[in-house]
């Protein structure tokens, strides 16, 4: 359980840092439009901190580590979510600065962000399958 609470804490701190950066960076540059930077905070809070808080509750009652799909979830999810957040950051900073990115750079950012979203989504499916296995085995 402690491991999942630690994951939750790391994501919470990263979410807060992302939120503060978004607020201060856009304020410093007098930017008032929509930007991908605003999504970093919520992605990390909800998909990071909240998900691992719920997992910690399950871990308090069940040995999740014995389920192979859960172990795979941990790896995939903890690669996908930070990758997604990083690409939101990489997309948002040029938006605020008003930088024109080439089509190749835009496509690269979108592609990497897509991979992050696919990994995160796959992780969520693996987590749900793991919890289903718990339920199928009577807890």
**Distance in angstroms (rounded) separating the CA atoms of residues 14 and 65:** 25
Start-to-end C-alpha separation, the chain: 16
pLDDT in tens, 53-92: 999 999 999 999 999 999 999 999 999 999 999 999 999 9
pLDDT recorded at residue 137: 83
**Distance in angstroms (rounded) separating the CA atoms of residues 24 and 59:** 37
Residue with tokens 């835009």: 106
Name the stretches of the chain with pLDDT < 50. none
Helical H segments across the chain, by residue range: 2-28, 37-42, 51-59, 68-97, 103-136
Select from 93, 70, 74 the least CA-distant residue to 82: 74
pLDDT recorded at residue 139: 63
pLDDT recorded at residue 37: 95
Average pLDDT of the chain is: 96
């Amino acid at each position: 359980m402690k491991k999942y609470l630690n994951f939750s804490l790391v994501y919470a701190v990263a979410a807060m840092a992302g939120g503060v950066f978004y607020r201060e960076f856009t304020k410093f540059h007098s930017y008032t439009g929509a930007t991908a930077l605003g999504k970093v905070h919520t992605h990390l809070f909800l998909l990071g901190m909240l998900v691992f808080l719920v997992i910690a509750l399950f871990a308090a009652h069940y040995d999740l580590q014995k389920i192979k799909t859960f172990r795979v979830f941990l790896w995939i999810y903890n690669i996908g979510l930070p990758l997604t957040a990083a690409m939101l950051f990489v997309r948002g900073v040029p938006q605020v600065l008003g930088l024109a990115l080439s089509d190749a750079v835009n496509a690269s950012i979108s592609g990497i962000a897509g991979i992050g979203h696919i990994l995160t989504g796959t992780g969520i499916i693996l987590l749900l399958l793991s919890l289903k296995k718990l339920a199928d085995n009577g807890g």
